[in-house]
């Protein structure tokens, strides 16, 4: 096995590692057949195009931060830590409890941790890796020791559940995942848990290929109006073909970039946890790179696309399934709205 290159700054800067992981999905399951009367679709149509079999949707007044709270409690239990050990919260979501303040503040209040910094990250499908990278920098510089990183989404309340919104609405589910990132004591050995690197990219020229147009300050008038709602501009829209083409190009590129930076090869990786946007995307990436099918862990069949939650949710599910064990090398990649794309390489 090849080994990571020793960076010159590692002697003075700390490294970080994932101490624990937790996740939560609401109990209500929406199978494909449950959507057919709402959206004029079918189980066969959805499975063939996306690989999705079901997703979880919230009910009643459940908020994004409610899902995140349970995922956080489970991550703390996994890490054998108390909530008082958390120094900082970095929260990735595109479906906040409210426009402002940030949902990290609502989660902080529910955790009863006043005073610690709480940051929202709005990078959609790559949000978790962006948040992981931000937390990693704070730990490396010694500013904080244990940082809660959350990816949490409620899509079911924000998609167009009619035939006009079918192509987007069938893709998304609700759920949350969380990890606790902590500092490594000294320089970790080559087989010890650690985060090797993250790679982040964006190209805003494609911002309108996958977006929600309203509410917006771009209009000469109110952010939201009856006319905007009647036109359905407050629902997400996507140029599916463009997104697919870019995803299957950028995710392999950024994955290889991360492995090269870390000094590893594809063969060194024990498990790949990709963002879960479409099973066909992940299958094509695996085929392009020659990754054995058993090394790619997918959850989209059960949960749909939970955006910023897919990677931490996947990590937790992989642990529960016995697919992810201490000492294993993991590589993750994501692509989404913005366009943004990112990767992370770490040892569990």
Based on its alpha-carbon atoms, the radius of gyration of the chain, rounded to whole angstroms, reads: 20
Which helix (H) or strand (E) element contains residue 301?
helix 300-303
Contact 292, 306 (CB under 8 A): no
Pairing, β 88-92 against β 118-121: parallel
Nearest 5 degrees, angle CA 248-CA 253-CA 255? 100
Q: How many CB atoms sit inside 10 A of residue 72's CB?
A: 29
Give yes or no: 32 in active site: no
Give the C-alpha separation, 144 to 14, whole Å: 11
Give the C-alpha separation, 147 to 132, whole Å: 9
Give yes or no: 201 in active site: no
Which helix (H) or strand (E) element contains residue 237?
strand 237-238
Looking at 63, 64, 105, 125, which residue is catalytic? 125
Q: Among 188, 197, 144, 139, which residue's Cα sits nearest to residue 345? A: 197
Give yes or no: 275 in active site: yes
Looking at 105, 275, 282, 298, which residue is catalytic? 275
Contact 121, 145 (CB under 8 A): no
Looking at 64, 278, 298, 305, which residue is catalytic? 305
Give the C-alpha separation, 215 to 222, whole Å: 8
Contact 313, 182 (CB under 8 A): no
Give the C-alpha separation, 348 to 309, whole Å: 18
Q: Among 5, 326, 11, 1, which residue's Cα sits nearest to residue 197? A: 5
Q: Which residues are catalytic?
A: 125, 275, 305
């Amino acid at each position: 096995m090849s080994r990571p290159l020793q960076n010159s700054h590692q002697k003075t800067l700390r490294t970080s590692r994932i101490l624990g992981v937790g996740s939560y999905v609401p109990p209500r399951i929406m199978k494909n057949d449950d959507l057919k009367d709402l959206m004029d679709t079918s189980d066969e149509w959805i499975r063939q195009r996306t690989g999705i079999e079901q997703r979880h949707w919230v009910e009643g007044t459940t908020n994004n931060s409610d899902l995140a709270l349970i995922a956080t409690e489970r991550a703390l239990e996994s890490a054998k830590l108390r909530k008082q050990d958390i120094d900082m919260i970095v929260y990735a979501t595109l479906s906040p409890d409210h426009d402002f303040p940030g949902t990290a503040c609502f989660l902080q209040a529910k955790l009863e941790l006043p005073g610690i910094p709480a940051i929202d990250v709005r990078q959609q499908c790559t949000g978790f890796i962006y948040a992981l990278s931000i937390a990693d920098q704070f730990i490396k510089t010694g500013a904080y020791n244990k940082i809660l990183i959350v990816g949490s989404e409620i899509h079911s309340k924000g998609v167009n559940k009619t035939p006009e919104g079918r192509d987007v609405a069938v893709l998304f589910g609700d759920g949350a995942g969380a990890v606790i990132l902590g500092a490594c004591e000294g320089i970790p050995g080559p087989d010890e848990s650690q985060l090797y690197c993250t790679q982040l990219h964006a190209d805003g020229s494609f911002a309108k290929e996958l977006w929600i147009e309203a509410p917006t300050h771009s209009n000469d008038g109110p952010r939201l109006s009856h006319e905007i709602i009647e036109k359905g501009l407050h629902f997400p829209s996507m140029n599916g073909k463009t997104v697919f083409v870019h995803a299957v190009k950028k995710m392999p590129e950024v994955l290889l970039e991360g492995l090269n930076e870390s000094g590893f090869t594809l063969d060194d990786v024990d498990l790949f946890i990709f963002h879960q946007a479409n099973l066909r995307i992940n299958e094509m990436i695996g085929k392009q790179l020659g990754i054995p099918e058993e090394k790619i862990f997918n959850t989209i069949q059960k949960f749909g696309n939970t955006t910023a939650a897919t990677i931490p949710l996947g990590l937790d599910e992989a642990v529960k399934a016995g697919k992810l064990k201490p000492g294993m090398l993991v590589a993750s990649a994501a692509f989404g709205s913005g366009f943004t794309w990112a990767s992370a390489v770490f040892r569990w």
